Chain A
Amino acid sequence: QKEVEQNSGPLSVPEGAIASLNCTYSDRGSQSFFWYRQYSGKSPELIMFIYSNGDKEDGRFTAQLNKASQYVSLLIRDSQPSDSATYLCAVNLNSGNTPLVFGKGTRLSVIA
């Protein structure tokens, strides 16, 4: 069965620390990977996407992709209390024009 797996958390980190969020996926042929942030009671919003192996940086956020290990992660540097949210990993599992499959999300709590 094709899946996207995330640790549900909660992941608690102190303010200013690096938060590391992980996601594994089942289809080795997957090509597109997305990280969304969802605040409580709100809709998911895109943080960043990554298509190629390696790191992609955007401000305090870094996405890391390792297709051989079928693993994608999101690092949040200098974590702030405002980063407290649920982070959803989404993968295009069939590598075709089929809908994204979302993980169940990891709840992050940044402690001031």
Chain B
Amino acid sequence: DAGITQSPRYKITETGRQVTLMCHQTWSHSYMFWYRQDLGHGLRLIYYSAAADITDKGEVPDGYVVSRSKTENFPLTLESATRSQTSVYFCATSSLAGTDTQYFGPGTRLTVL
């Protein structure tokens, strides 16, 4: 049982390119989340989804796009990557948004040159 997987684990891209980070879960949790983690800022929520086809903005959504056509997948797209989007990205899942444990994927380290 893989739980949560993220791909790729490492990605280097250039400014202006489109990048998609993938997140897949095998638990059928309703909620999925995307965070970025930067030194000095901690974990910041980008977007989250309560179910297929239901998404909502988090604290730092600008420059990112999400979709959730299937319960198990929650891709995060950077439509035109900028250097400020260099970060570690974590996907997480939970049964409920705020009252249940969130489980984190292994993370994707993204570098934008």
**Contact yes or no, A88 B42, CB < 8 A:** yes
Q: A97 and B96: CB pair below 8 A? A: yes
Task: Please count how many residues in chain A sit with their CB below 8 Å of the partner chain's CB atoms.
Answer: 24
* Interface flag for B75 (CB, 8 Å): no
Residues of A contacting B102 with CB < 8 Å?
34, 46, 90, 100
For residue A104, CB closer than 8 A to chain B, the reply is yes
The chain A residues found within 8 Å of chain B, CB to CB, are 31-32, 34, 42-46, 49, 88, 90, 92-100, 102-105
Min CB gap A82→B, angstroms = 20
CB of B74 closer than 8 Å to a CB of A? no
Contact A102/B43 with A43-B90, A92-B98 known, Cβ cut-off 8 Å: yes
Contact check, B101 vs A49: say whether CB atoms are below 8 A apart: yes
Which among A34, A43, A104, A105 has the greatest number of chain B C-beta atoms within 10 A?
Answer: A43
Q: How many residues in B have their beta carbons less than 8 Å from beta carbons of A? A: 23
Q: Which residues of B contact A46 (CB under 8 A)?
A: 101-103
Query: Which of B31, B33, B98 meets A96, CB within 8 Å?
Result: B98
Instruction: Report whether B58 and A104 are in contact in the complex, using a CB–CB cutoff of 8 Å.
Output: no
Query: Does B64 sit within 8 A of A, measured CB to CB?
Result: no
Contacts of A96 in B (CB 8 A): 98
Known A44-B90, A45-B104; contact A99-B42, beta-carbon cutoff 8 A: no
Which residue of A42, A44, A99 has the most chain B CB atoms within 10 A of its CB atom?
A99
In contact, A43 and B33 (Cβ under 8 angstroms) = no
> Smallest CB-CB separation from B48: which chain A residue?
A99
Q: Does B22 contact A (CB under 8 A)?
A: no
